Amino acid sequence: MIYLDYCATTPVAYEVLDTINKVTKEYIGNANSIHSLGRKSRDLLNSATNQIANIFNVSPNELIYTSGATESNNMALIGVALANRKKGNHIIVSKLEHPSIYSICNHLETLGFEISYVKNTAEGLIDFDDLKKLVRKETILVSICAVNSEVGIRQPLKMIRQIIKKENFGTIFHSDMTQAIGKVSVNLHDVDLASISAHKIYGPKGIGLLYKNSNVDMVPLIYGTSKEENNYRPGTPSLPLIAAFSKAIRLANNDLEKKERFITLLNDKIVNHLKKYPHILINKTNYSIPHILNISLMDVMSEPFVYALEKKEVYVSTNTACSSKELSTSVMAIYNDLNRAKHTIRISLSSLTTTDEVNRFLQIFDEEYSKLSNLK
Amino acid sequence: MQKIIIIKYGELSTKKDNIGYFLNTLKNNIKEVLIDEEVNISLDIGRMFIEVQEESIPKVVAKLKKIFGIHEIIVGYKDLDFTLDALKENTLKLLEAKDFKTFKINTKRSNKKYPYKSMELNNLIGSYILDNKKVKVDVLNPEVIFNIEIRQKEILYYDMKIKGLGGYPVGTLGKGLLMLSGGIDSPVAGFLAAKRGIMLEAIYFESPPHTSENAKNKVLALATILSEYSAKIKVHIVNFTAIQEAILKNIPNDYLITIMRRMMYRISEQIALKNKCLVLINGESIGQVASQTLTSMNCINAVVNMPVIRPVACYDKLQIIDMAKNIGSYETSILPYEDCCTVFVPQHPVINPSLKKACEYEKLIDYEALIKEAILNEEIIYVPLKEEAKYQDIL
């Protein structure tokens, strides 16, 4: 099997799986119980949270566990919008967001919020001038992803923050960092809110977190406790997943640069190989990270091609897993070419990927591509 | 400009000949707390400068807020360009990032050779800001007071001051042994003693199976909270079961607590002497319970020669609770576990014990031997426990 869909999800790391097992077996107490088993669980929970807080240089009470990035995005956008309604009803997002952001925005529109979509440059970066124009007195929130999930564009968050805060100091800045964590270094202090998921960094599915700067006003979306500490996400904390998440974050942040350099080599190899095909377009700009390689097969339908590769046990995707059946909004936003956006294939690489796998993949790719493109 | 943390000392400036000792202790305490960070700490006249990576500043400030001997924590900027233009530009740049309507410039000039006087600088820089930003000057009640300090080697810019804890750096006045019970009062007593520069060790009496492992963990948790304000704390855990059972068996009921406290004092003094602690510290508050009346204190205190400090002696319970909440120990203190002093409380303890009677009753038990054994078998735990080591395999 050659798995090249690491941006959809990753296999759970062996050490992380160990933690899930161990904590499930040995920490049976509810972290909210007052007896010794509960306190033992609470103690581990606190240590796990402290470890994450230390890695990201934030305070532990600024971290809220969720079921994943989609929930974090909901909590951030809806929670902030409702809490800051009196200050304004205007929200800005980019055209390069994860589909969940757009669904949330559609919902917010029905609640009376106004959504603006900031333009991007041909290179995929946020258009700073357009952003400057869009931020106004009523703008309560801006949400821009750190790394785009389809084309891998990495945004300069610090600069974006400065622009937003200069126009309106009270505007809150959220970033979906799901595809950035574990791939490139991030600084949570560049934003007020950040969504992070475990299953993209070799952690378990079903756990994520929202970083919320303590100065940000946000209302909870679900209710269930009077305790202040888990006000935003009441209920019994999922200790095995949380401990595993903490470990996954620690492991993913080791040697980020070395891993990135290795993945760049693999990416270059694939790009150089595909250059020979006149009908294959590489959807890559100077700001794409090497972990995500998006291409458009202009003379082949992308869905059948994914199935054809799958038969040879090669796994890639058309665009994001969350909108596989639709056209790539990101490719559309960058290249403004409907045909190109309809024919995308996303290959996502990991430091687990080997050169042999890439060679084998290219060989299978050639075979299947020639079969399908000759049908025309 | 470089973002920097500036520390002001306050009370320390009353010290004259030995101020160097106080400052160096403070510097070392800060270094110890920031051991995980890459920091550069330098001392200067009336100020200490802490240079860290910009992202770490909020975390570092949160830690500095818990260090005694710091009067004010300022997050500001340091610059070496003394020209008037630089002063104007830097001030404008820093104020541009802020949202406010009224302001005031407050210049201090400790470098008296600087060609402009403070008042002149206030005017010049203030009017430059007025020309470039839509704000107003308000000298009486401004939203932002922007400070500029012209010093010998550098210029400092800042507008936000965070109040520090005050007091003396922990360790400058020697060591004391805190009798830590698990209640609300003793952690507050420890906090107040540490504030006067006393380095803490703690002693806890456990009485298994009458007291649970939970009670012990609670005391360790309290010691850990205190350690955030002082340094690593050595906790002496003394098994009190044999002594307590001997007392229960042999001593008349109304003197149970009096004699028990006398035993605890004896053990504490011996452990304090062994560990070079100069005083005993406890959370007794006058009149709160039977063993804390003035006659009881006399009767109990009589067994030791070492000074006993009772920092919360004259506070009301509600005041102590408020302090405990501020320190962060209250939530832990009220966890419902029995400790040594509460398991066997007689219905009517004596309120005015007589020293003579207490001495007579004590002859009924061979306490010297029991005390010796208890001290011999003490368990020592240092807090805080290292987190990574604790969960190495899991996290």
Give the strands of the sheet with B233-239, arranged side by side: B308-309, B279-281, B175-179, B199-206, B233-239, B379-383
Q: Are residues B185 and B279 in the same domain?
A: yes
Look at residue A324 in the predicted model and tell me its pLDDT. Answer: 57
C-beta separation of A164 from A128 below 8 A: no
- Number of domains making up chain B: 2
Nearest to B395 among A57, A169, A246 (CB): A246
The pLDDT tens digits of the residues spanning A37-96 come to 888 899 899 999 999 998 998 989 899 999 999 999 999 999 999 999 999 999 999 999
Chosen domain end from B165, B186, B201? B165
> From the CB of residue A97, how many other CB atoms can be counted at a distance below 10 Å?
22
Give the domain CATH number at B137: 3.30.2130.30
Phi, psi of B187 (to 5 degrees): -60, -35
Residues 6+ apart with CB under 8 A from B17: none
Asked if the model's pLDDT at residue A321 lies above 70, the reply is no
For the annotated catalytic residues of A, the residue numbers are: 322
State what percent of residues in chain A have pLDDT above 90: 84
Look at residue B98 in the predicted model and tell me its pLDDT. Answer: 83
- B214 with A35: Cβ contact below 8 A: yes
C-beta separation of B361 from B259 below 8 A: yes
Asked if the model's pLDDT at residue A229 lies above 70, the reply is no
Radius of gyration of chain A (CA): 21
Nearest to A50 among B62, B213, B387 (CB): B387
Q: Are residues B149 and B22 in the same domain?
A: yes
Tell me whether residue B8 is in a domain.
yes
Look at residue B340 in the predicted model and tell me its pLDDT. Answer: 67
Look at residue B387 in the predicted model and tell me its pLDDT. Answer: 59
| Burial class of residue B245 in the structure, from the number of CB atoms within 10 Å of its CB (0-12 exposed, 13-18 middle, 19+ buried) | middle
For residue B387, which residues of chain A lie inside 8 Å, CB to CB?
47, 50-51
Report helix, strand or coil for A205: coil
Q: Are residues B132 and B41 in the same domain?
A: yes
Tell me whether residue B206 is in a domain.
yes
Q: Determine the Cα–Cα distance for residues B345 and A134; give it in Å rounded to an integer.
A: 70
Tell me whether residue B118 is in a domain.
yes
Q: Determine the Cα–Cα distance for residues A195 and A287; give it in Å rounded to an integer.
A: 21
Q: Are residues B153 and B188 in the same domain?
A: no
Q: Are residues B97 and B197 in the same domain?
A: no
Q: Are residues B210 and B297 in the same domain?
A: yes
Q: Are residues B190 and B294 in the same domain?
A: yes
Q: Which of B256, B263, B238 lies closest to B345, judged by CA?
A: B256
CA of A38 vs chain B CAs: smallest distance (Å): 11
- A169 with B62: Cβ contact below 8 A: no
pTM: 0.69
Radius of gyration of chain B (CA): 27
Look at residue B348 in the predicted model and tell me its pLDDT. Answer: 82
Mean pLDDT over residues A181-205, rounded? 96
Q: Are residues B238 and B318 in the same domain?
A: yes
Structural domain of residue B88, as residue ranges? 2-165
Q: Which of A24, A35, A36, A167 should be substituted to probe chain B, the one whose Cβ sees the most B Cβ atoms within 10 Å?
A: A36
- A47 with B213: Cβ contact below 8 A: no
Mean pLDDT over residues A114-141, rounded? 95
Mean pLDDT, chain A, as a whole number? 93
Chosen domain end from B130, B165, B200? B165
CA of B388 vs chain A CAs: smallest distance (Å): 8
Chosen domain end from B138, B165, B192? B165
Give the domain CATH number at B297: 3.40.50.620
Look at residue B55 in the predicted model and tell me its pLDDT. Answer: 81
Side chain identity at residue B175, one-letter code: K
Tell me the pLDDT of chain B (395 aa) as tens digits: 899 999 988 767 677 778 888 888 999 989 888 887 888 999 887 889 999 988 888 889 988 999 999 999 999 999 999 999 999 999 998 998 888 899 999 999 988 999 999 999 999 999 999 999 889 999 899 999 999 999 988 999 998 889 999 999 999 989 999 999 889 999 999 999 999 999 999 999 999 888 888 888 889 999 999 998 987 899 999 999 999 999 999 999 889 999 999 999 999 999 999 999 999 999 999 998 888 999 999 999 999 999 999 999 999 999 999 999 999 999 889 887 777 667 777 778 888 899 999 999 999 999 999 999 999 999 999 988 765 567 878 88
For residue B208, which residues of chain A lie inside 8 Å, CB to CB?
none
Look at residue B32 in the predicted model and tell me its pLDDT. Answer: 85
Q: Which of B61, B92, B391 should be substituted to probe chain A, the one whose Cβ sees the most A Cβ atoms within 10 Å?
A: B391
Domains (range + CATH), chain A: 2-9+255-374 (3.90.1150.10), 14-252 (3.40.640.10)
Look at residue A376 in the predicted model and tell me its pLDDT. Answer: 60
Q: Are residues B155 and B202 in the same domain?
A: no
- A243 with B59: Cβ contact below 8 A: no
For residue A170, which residues of chain B lie inside 8 Å, CB to CB?
99
Look at residue A326 in the predicted model and tell me its pLDDT. Answer: 75
Q: Are residues B118 and B244 in the same domain?
A: no
Tell me whether residue B395 is in a domain.
no
Q: Are residues B107 and B206 in the same domain?
A: no
Q: Are residues B118 and B199 in the same domain?
A: no
For residue A36, which residues of chain B lie inside 8 Å, CB to CB?
212-214, 217
